[in-house]
Amino acid sequence: MKTPPLVNPGPALSAQQARRYSRQIVIPQIQASGQERIRNAKVLCIGAGGLGSPALMYLAAAGVGTIGIVDFDTVDETNLHRQVLYGQSDIGKKKVDVAKSKIEESNPLVSVTTYPVRVNPSNVLEIMAGYDIVIDATDNFATRYLINDAAVLLNKPYVWGSVNRFDGQAAVFWSSLGPCYRCLHPEPPAPGTVQNCADAGVLGVLCASIASIQVNEVIKAITGIGELQIGKLMIYEALEAEHSKIDIHKNPLCVICGENPTQVSLLENYESFCGVASAPEISVEDLKKKFAANDDFILIDVREPDEFASSRIPGSVLIPKAHFFDATALDLLPRDKEIILHCRSGVRSAHCLAIIQGAGFMNSRHLGGGILAWEKQ
């Protein structure tokens, strides 16, 4: 879809800017006026992981004047094969702090604002309001629906991306000109039916491929060049090296962007909407107390064997998540003691907890924040 430029040109480029971006300025469709639009643009990237890392570097390299970074996490060794902003010495540091430093080293002409928080219904509108366009580089459905709903309410365009093993997807959502994410996925999948990167794995270089598509669409939106891929689901299958597109139509019955929307504000709890909020948790502090008191409980690690071999909480027992979904784990669980599940961050363990509680194991909880929280504390 041909759209007008999202950003005005503004003042002329400085001699340093003209020199730095000269290879981009000579492109007939961009020229100095297009580079001025890029310089004046404000782009927010939510997520500084597999997609966010390369996206942020290319935003900075292109000369986007103001870049916002939202991420609450710290760098983990398992990130390094795909999150190219980070190195070995960055392990344990806040991603937003490392990303800001790397971007400013790469291009001191851009301004970087960081938000070391998890976006939620109480902060997302305020954070997004000051930006022209948003990149959704997150990896969970609750946050995707939250970003979508905030973008619709603010009338902001955003570019979504997703990766899994060898397959990646990207799309541009702008509810005033086309469909929103809810038009593509009116309801979230059942908890645990879609594997995340920790479960399924992801080819590191695939993240760069999809992030490049996202940044390309951002630059097109800012400058008004080319055809913005609104209403198109772009699919890349890396093993076959095949690109394809699927049309996404605006749903007139969409609850938030349809003809008669029934949702006119953000939901109170997106985790609950996606079916993962009701899982009872135990904190790291309380788990430590249970160990110290020699309480009678069993701690089960639902990660994969290679993760368990790499790091574990002392005293934990490995039962991978797949055994919960095929019900074979139920025969291994005790009925006479408390069950505590954990995974890397708490997502997988929440899904497994819902399964065992549905099977009658009500004396059960999961570790909030997973082994990441344990290792931090």
Query: How do residues 285-300 score in pLDDT, each as one tens digit?
Result: 999 999 999 999 999 9
- Tell me the three state secondary structure of residue 222: helix
Give the pLDDT of residue 376. 83
Distance CA 78, CA 68 (A): 24
* pTM score, whole prediction: 0.83
Distance CA 80, CA 186 (A): 34
Claim to verify: residue 32 and residue 178 sit in the same structural domain: yes
Give the pLDDT of residue 190. 73
Burial class (CB in 10 A: 0-12, 13-18, 19+), 63: buried
Q: Is residue 3 assigned to a domain?
A: no
Q: Is residue 36 assigned to a domain?
A: yes
Cβ proximity of 102 and 85 under 8 Å: yes
Give the pLDDT of residue 78. 87
Query: What is the domain-level CATH number for residue 332?
Result: 3.40.250.10
- Tally: H helices and E strands in the chain: 16, 13
Give the pLDDT of residue 277. 53
Q: Is residue 322 assigned to a domain?
A: yes
Q: Which residues are CB-neighbours of 62 under 8 A, at least 6 positions away?
A: 21, 24, 38, 215, 219
- 204-223 vs 52-62: helix axis angle to the nearest 10? 40
Q: Is residue 8 assigned to a domain?
A: no
What's the number of CA atoms in the CB half-sphere (13 Å) around residue 310?
Answer: 13
Catalytic positions, please? 197, 343
Q: Which residues are CB-neighbours of 360 under 8 A, at least 6 positions away?
A: none
Claim to verify: residue 268 and residue 207 sit in the same structural domain: yes
pLDDT, tens digit (0-9, with 9 covering 90-100), for 316-333: 999 999 899 888 999 999
Give the pLDDT of residue 116. 96
At which of 219, 254, 273 does a domain end? 273
Give the pLDDT of residue 241. 94
Residue 330: give the domain boundaries. 281-376
H helix intervals, the chain: 15-20, 22-25, 31-40, 52-62, 95-106, 124-129, 141-154, 181-184, 197-200, 204-223, 270-273, 284-292, 305-310, 321-325, 347-358, 370-376
Distance CA 34, CA 287 (A): 56
At which of 215, 244, 273 does a domain end? 273
- Region 223-232 average pLDDT: 97
Query: What is the domain-level CATH number for residue 91?
Result: 3.40.50.720
Cβ proximity of 273 and 182 under 8 Å: no
Check whether 65 has a pLDDT greater than 70. Answer: yes
Claim to verify: residue 302 and residue 214 sit in the same structural domain: no
Distance CA 263, CA 83 (A): 36
Claim to verify: residue 314 and residue 259 sit in the same structural domain: no
CA nearest neighbour of 238 among 202, 273, 271, 267: 202
Q: Is residue 230 assigned to a domain?
A: yes
Claim to verify: residue 267 and residue 294 sit in the same structural domain: no
At which of 236, 253, 273 does a domain end? 273
Share of the chain above pLDDT 90, in %: 82
How many distinct structural domains can be found in the chain?
Answer: 2
Claim to verify: residue 25 and residue 145 sit in the same structural domain: yes
pLDDT, tens digit (0-9, with 9 covering 90-100), for 249-282: 999 999 999 999 999 999 998 987 887 655 689 9
Question: For 261, which DSSP code?
Answer: -
